[in-house]
């Protein structure tokens, strides 16, 4: 497993997105996924307090009992957890952090991320609270999610021990808005980029094909379907599958390796519900794409 820098942390190039824990995956299933991840060298687990309304953190904390030192835990705050429990006010940052620490059964969170910008709270106030958490030893690095480049720049106002070490935004072969400003900002300031939805809600797994019915209980049939699983995108998928198979690789491997080709990206985090999915993901970023490969992909997606 390749490892990359995220601030002071060393994270596996392939990470585990824990949004399924407490929702699609029960406590026993979470243990199976975590066991498989650690076995293949994955150390990066990304969750949020809002996933499963706390259960994702609880299940992850339980699964890591006795081996916390083998994992880099990232979690997020700011989405609504209950009445008055959302946003990035300093007093709520402290409240949410202590609650996450308790659920995760740990004294320190490796990467603590604001889940989305809070227009009602000055970013300077939030950054001060996060830096206070670093000084208190409760957090090692801080990050943001769903921030624009302008919002990232606005956060550079606190002369504390930490600025944002990472930004986590939607990015994959079919969703490339981050290339306009956020990725260049990451390159300029040495901020790590964590892409969420690296497989475009399953569209880049290869199980959705043009002219074939969507599998039952799949993302293609839920709320994402009409917006993402369009005829145009399914045509692009067929062309990408052709590229992958011509190199004896799968579309899944192409999706991971395309992201890994960008030096700004420190970890490709994808959800997994089974140990087999973990093992498939762990090998998926090992294809080193050439400049010609990347140019051909750009031509197809243009």
Which has the minimum average pLDDT: 56-70, 140-154, 226-240?
226-240
Range of the domain at 100: 3-205+251-289
pLDDT beyond 60 at 220: no
Give the tens place of pLDDT for each residue, 88-117: 999 999 999 999 999 999 999 999 999 999
| pLDDT number for residue 157 | 77
For residue 36, give Cα distances in angstroms to 17, 217, 242, 277.
Answer: 14, 24, 30, 9
> Can you give the pLDDT at residue 55?
97
> For residue 178, is it within any domain?
yes
pTM: 0.94
Domain-located, residue 228: no
Residue 234 lies in a domain: no
CA distance 293 to 275: 30
CATH code of the domain in which 260 resides: 3.20.20.100
pLDDT at 206: 86
Residue 233 falls within a domain, yes or no?
no
Could you tell me the pLDDT band of residue 64, with boundaries at 50, 70 and 90? very high
**DSSP label at residue 131:** H
From CA 294, how far away is CA 254, in angstroms rounded? 10
Contacts of 214 (CB under 8 A, 6+ apart): 208, 220, 221, 225, 229
Q: Is the pLDDT of residue 52 over 70?
A: yes
Banded pLDDT at 156 (limits 50, 70, 90): confident
Residue 217 has pLDDT above 70, yes or no: no
Task: Identify the sign of the CA torsion 123, 126, 132, 137.
Answer: negative
Average pLDDT over the chain, rounded to whole?
94
Strand partners, 192: 166
> For the chain, how many structural domains are there in total?
1
Asked if the model's pLDDT at residue 215 lies above 80, the reply is no
The predicted pLDDT at position 221 comes to 52
| Domain presence at residue 85 | yes
Q: What is the pLDDT of residue 148?
A: 98
* Residue 239 forms part of a structural domain: no
**How do residues 158-188 score in pLDDT, each as one tens digit?**
767 789 999 999 999 999 999 999 999 999 9
Instruction: Flag whether 227 is in a domain.
Output: no
Residue 215 gets which letter from DSSP? P
In whole angstroms, give the CA distance from residue 106 to residue 104. Answer: 5
Which pLDDT band, with edges at 50, 70 and 90, does 216 fall under? low
* Structural domain contains residue 110: yes
Checking if the pLDDT of 218 tops 60, the result is: no
The pLDDT of residue 100 is 98
CA-closest candidate to residue 294, choices 266, 251, 263, 254? 254
The pLDDT value recorded for residue 226 is: 62
Mean pLDDT lowest among 51-60, 183-192, 218-227, 232-241: 218-227
Reply yes or no on whether 51 is catalytic: yes
Catalytic hit among 51, 92, 112, 208? 51
* pLDDT of amino acid 90: 98
**pLDDT above 90 (res 51):** yes
């Amino acid at each position: 497993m390749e490892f990359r820098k995220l601030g002071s942390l060393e994270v596996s190039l392939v990470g585990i997105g824990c949004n399924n824990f407490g929702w699609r995956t029960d406590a026993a299933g979470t243990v199976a996924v975590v066991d498989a991840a650690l076995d293949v060298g994955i150390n990066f687990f990304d969750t949020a307090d809002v996933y499963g309304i706390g259960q994702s953190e609880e299940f992850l904390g339980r699964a890591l009992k006795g081996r916390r030192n083998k994992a880099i835990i990232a979690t997020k705050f700011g989405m609504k957890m209950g009445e008055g429990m959302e946003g990035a006010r300093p007093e709520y940052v402290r409240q949410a952090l202590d609650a996450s620490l308790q659920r995760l059964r740990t004294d320190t969170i490796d990467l603590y991320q604001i889940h989305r910008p809070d227009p009602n709270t000055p970013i300077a106030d939030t950054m001060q609270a996060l830096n206070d958490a670093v000084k208190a030893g409760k957090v090692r690095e801080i990050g943001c999610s769903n921030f624009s480049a302008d919002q990232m720049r606005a956060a550079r106002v606190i002369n504390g021990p930490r600025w944002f070490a990472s930004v986590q935004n939607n990015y994959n072969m079919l969703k490339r808005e981050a290339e306009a400003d956020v990725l260049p900002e990451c390159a300029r300031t040495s901020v790590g980029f964590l892409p969420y939805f690296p497989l475009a809600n399953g569209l880049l797994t290869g199980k959705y094909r043009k002219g074939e019915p969507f599998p039952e209980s799949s993302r293609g049939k839920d709320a994402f379907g009409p917006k993402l699983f369009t005829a145009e995108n399914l045509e692009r998928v067929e062309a990408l599958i052709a590229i992958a198979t011509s190199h004896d690789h799968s579309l899944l491997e192409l999706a991971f390796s395309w992201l890994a080709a960008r030096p700004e990206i420190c970890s490709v985090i994808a959800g997994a519900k089974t140990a087999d999915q973990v093992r498939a993901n762990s090998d998926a970023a090992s294809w080193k794409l050439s400049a010609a490969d990347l140019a051909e992909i750009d031509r197809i997606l243009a």
